[in-house]
Structure 1
Amino acid sequence: MRNLLDPPPPHAAACFADGRTRFLLTVDTEEEFDWGKPLTRESHSTRSVPRLAKFQQFCEAQGVAPVYLVDWPIASSTRAAEILREPLAAGRAEIGVQLHPWVNPPFEEEVTQANSFAGNLPAGLEASKLTRLRDAIEENFGIAPLIYRAGRYGVGPNTARALADNGIAVDSSVRPHFDYSHAHGPDFRAHPLAPYWLDDARTLLELPLTTTFWGMLRRQGEAIYPRLWRAPVLRGALAKLGLLERVPLTPEGVSVQEAIRGIDMALDDGLPVLVLSFHSPSLSPGHTPYVRDEDDLDALYDWWRRVFAYLAGRGVAASSVRDVMAAVTR
């Protein structure tokens, strides 16, 4: 089993025999907390959970099955289970695991920034937290999860083995073109955008979140962009001039126009699977920096509506974890 912190060898690339281009909508389904304050075990709520019902209805009308990556406060929420059990059972949604170690038992570690990345924990503790969460999801939602995302994208040297031991078939924690090492997290700058296998037996698939470079200098983005991490003004100037812009496929801080440019770049690069994401507390105004009021929430839904329409127009099909696993060649 490979170390998720290391870029994969070329022979690990995953292939899809049918030639279709797919997208997954992943929802980091989590508690609300103040993103600007230190993490604690207690300072959070789940007031945005009822908003999942409207979002699920919206996705069904759009022909999209969202993948809810659920952490401990949501896995233990009776209301979340009431909302999601039926669409999960009917295949109109899927469920996965998202580990926020600071709110996930067993509570053996000190709550620190470094320990908020689950991959930094001792192997046994990371695995124990993952197992407790995976079992709670299956018990409360009636479905065994097949996909995982580490909260804060915090994978480590032992994560892949823990996933395999828990029957997880897909990881989606790698975020290419991002570096979290300044906060004791992983550095994904050298990781590929395309899916790849984490083991030679091809039992654990990595589906990286999709982030592309756009602009005249995009082919040099991997060399240029990391050198500017202390210079956000210069990054902004390069984007404004159409020279270089980093575009993650998320409505959080990314305009529709930017997302469309990112989709075009991903398709130009021949990516077989596009992975889109956002955080569930954004479905309720006031819980994230991206949705402060009802106008922002309307704009969030409009972003998804327009992005889904553009993907359809480009021939990119809405997909699911089970569909991806059935289509990938082994």
Structure 2
Amino acid sequence: MTKPAFLITIDTEGDNLWQNHQSISTENTRYLPRFQALCEKYGFKPVYLTNYEMAVDAEYVEFARDVIARGTGEVGMHLHAWNSPPLQALTDDDWRHKPYLIEYPRDLVRAKVDHMTKLLEDAFQTKMLSHRAGRWAFNEYYAELLLEYGYQVDCSVTPNVNWAFSPGDPQGQGGTDYRHFPAQAYFIDPSNIARAGHSSLLEVPMSIQLKHSAMMNAFKQGYDALRGKKRSPSALWLRPSGGNLENMKKVALRCLEQGHDYVEFMLHSSEFMPGGSPTFKTEQDIEQLYRDLDGLFSWLSERTQGLTLAEYYQRKVK
């Protein structure tokens, strides 16, 4: 019997983008080899979903080319619209507001996807097959472009999560509402990305489980609404947050019990660096992160098989 896949996705981007920047550093590149070595210890193959500032970082390019050459991981595309060429201001301060790509004019969306795809393929000398949208914002036009440029896999969908309350352009409608999207992998209907269709683009949603029952979530959201607050239902992700090993196991186990043929993990590359994120600020935080990662990977190594997104795609089309 084929084991479920373990898919490790790393949003590979500049240092601590949660802060407001006027320029972006990429020191976190130096912290990736340790994580890569941990993945290889368990036979897992991370997918480095790479954005602009990392794609032009020579040290990162050298690291990722080696991963590709040894067949121990994959590079895909990740696009932060506000600093990915060609640049054209959408708001009074795009670096502060971080607009979603789907908020830009269509011709500029196309130009940014074109530029990033060609930049990555030139830097890493391999076809880009996998993609995750910056800030998880995805729509039908974006899917159409991924199909046009030959991508096979998208992993932007976050089931049960509504990003409409997370603004990009202050004059916009916020991010994508994924509350009614499938939680398992499906080939996208390009006319409605929330449902399965017959395209060649495979959607691989993040492994996310609701923290509370539907009844409790309805109560909590009603209570928040009375207080004038709007937020997405509370959810648990297969994502480290510091000392949350048991919750990550719980998410993975629920997904497998529900019949999912994969579990999908995510983290940002900058979270491997002390001070590279709001969550892991100190060296002690990083050591806790690695204790959690080692515990999770050891547990999953008995239940899953490590695949890249492109390898998982091949499993689905056979």
What is the TM-score of this pair, normalised by structure 2?
A: 0.86
Instruction: Name the aligned partner's letter for residue 128 of structure 2.
Output: P
Aligned to 2:203: 206
Kindly tell me the number of residue pairs found equivalent between the two proteins. 297
Q: Which residue of 2 is the match for residue 193 of structure 1?
A: 183
- Alignment partner, residue 267 of structure 1: 256
Deviations 1:263-295 (A, max 9, x none): 121112111121110000011101201111111
Whole-angstrom CA distance in 2 between matches of 1:229 and 1:22:
37
Give, as a single letter, the amino acid of the residue that structure 2 aligns with 1:102. W
**1:77-96 alignment, distance < 5 Å:** 77-96=57-76
Shift of 1:258: 0.8
2:128 is aligned with 1:138: no
AA in 1 matched with 2:66: E
**Superposed displacement of residue 31, structure 1:** 0.7
**Are 1:180 and 2:177 counterparts?**
no
Q: Which amino acid aligns with 1:205?
A: L
What amino acid sits opposite 2:46 in the alignment?
A: P
Alpha-carbon offset, residue 115 of structure 1? 6.0
CA distance in 2, matches of 1:221, 1:324: 35
Match of 1:163 in 2: 146
Q: Which residue is equivalent to 1:15?
A: none
Is contact 2:242–2:289 with CA below 8 Å preserved after alignment? no
2:31 is the counterpart of 1:51: yes
Counterpart of 1:128 in structure 2 is 111
Alpha-carbon distance, 1:169 to partner: 0.6
Q: Which blocks of at least 5 consecutive residues in structure 1 are unaligned?
A: 1-17, 233-243
* Cα 1:230–1:77 shift into 2, 3 Å: farther
Unmatched tracts of structure 2, length 5 or more? 168-173, 190-196, 228-232
CA distance in structure 2 between the aligned counterparts of 1:131 and 1:59, rounded to whole angstroms: 31
User: Does the 8 Å CA contact 2:153/2:310 hold for their aligned counterparts?
Assistant: no
Amino acid at match of 2:305: A
Q: RMSD of the TM alignment (CA)? A: 2.5
The answer for the alignment partner of 1:11 in structure 2 is none
1:157 CA drift (Å): 3.3
Task: Summarize deviations over 1:219-243 as a string: whole Å, max 9, x none.
Answer: 65775565566699xxxxxxxxxxx
Distance 1:23 1:275 in 2: 6
Render the CA deviation track for 1:26-49: whole Å, top value 9, x for unaligned. Answer: 000001245143xx5x33211111
- Give the 4+ runs in structure 1 shifted more than 3 A: 111-115, 199-202, 219-232
Report the Cα distance in structure 2 between the residues aligned to 1:88 and 1:275, rounded to whole angstroms.
Answer: 20
Identical counterparts, % of pairs: 26
Paired letter, 2:39: C
Instruction: State the secondary structure of the residue aligned to 2:236.
Output: strand
**Within the alignment, does 1:35 sit opposite 2:18 as a pair?**
yes
Distance 1:264 1:229, change over 3 A: farther
100, 110, 114: which one aligns with 2:80: 100
Aligned residue number for residue 239 of structure 2: 250
Measured in 1, the distance between the counterparts of 2:256 and 2:202 equals 21
| Equivalent of 1:68 in 48, 61, 68 | 48
Distance change (3 Å), C-alpha of 1:192 and 1:73:
same
TM-score by length of 1: 0.83
